[in-house]
């Protein structure tokens, strides 16, 4: 496998996770994309805002390509978790558009920086903050997919919608009755154990 093939694979896995995360907003109103559905406040639009900041850092600053827009919620003076929710002034379109601009900035890094080139993650401990682009891409793919998984659960809690991504739900095609029976069997197994 050539470096170009490896880069293409990494790029594809990252893009699939990005798109899955954004897809979870489809068909929902403003309240539902913003509302916290678990005690820690996790919400769909906040996950996208968070990932915009995370990706801007990892594929920007780490390799000397600082993202050109200020992300105030990522600064030292920002309140804890400011990147995990959207204020009423921050629109869905603005956050999703920002995330897409981050993708474009990241794509330039992925295209111009060799996989074995090193960068420095300023917010990681000094004993492990010198990294290669390859390592950061793996880390970012894992983190983006992790948050896409959070979005899967949040979306299912909001309206029951589930699935991997548009065009590939990756779930058995059971109807509501089948799913209710399945859930009951899983519940019974848990109680019996």
Q: Are 119 and 110 in contact (CB under 8 A)?
A: no
Residue 46 CA neighbour count, 13 Å, CB half: 22
The per-residue pLDDT for 160 is 86
Query: How far is Cα 152 from Cα 158, in angstroms, rounded to an integer?
Result: 10
Span 131-167, pLDDT tens digits? 999 999 999 999 999 999 999 999 999 998 887 666 6
The per-residue pLDDT for range 27-43, each reduced to its tens digit, is 999 999 999 999 999 99
**52 and 103 in contact (C-beta within 8 Å)?**
no
């Amino acid at each position: 496998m050539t470096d170009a093939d490896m880069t293409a694979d990494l790029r594809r896995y990252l893009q699939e996770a990005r798109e899955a995360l954004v897809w979870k907003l489809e068909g929902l109103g403003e309240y539902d994309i913003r509302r916290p559905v678990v005690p820690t406040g996790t919400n769909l639009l906040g996950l996208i805002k968070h990932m915009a900041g995370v990706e801007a850092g990892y594929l920007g600053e780490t390799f000397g390509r600082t993202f050109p827009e200020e992300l105030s919620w990522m600064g030292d003076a920002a309140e804890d978790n400011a990147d995990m929710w959207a204020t009423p002034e921050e629109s869905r379109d603005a956050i999703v558009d920002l995330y897409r601009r981050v993708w474009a900035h990241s794509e330039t890094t992925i295209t111009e920086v060799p996989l074995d080139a090193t960068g420095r993650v300023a917010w990681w401990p000094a004993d492990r903050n010198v990294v290669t682009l390859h390592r950061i891409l793996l880390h970012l793919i894992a983190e983006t997919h992790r948050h896409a998984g959070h979005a899967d659960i949040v979306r299912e809690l909001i309206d029951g919608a589930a699935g991997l991504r548009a065009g590939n739900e990756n779930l058995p095609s059971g109807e509501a009755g089948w799913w209710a029976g399945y859930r009951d069997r899983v519940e019974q197994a848990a109680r019996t154990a």
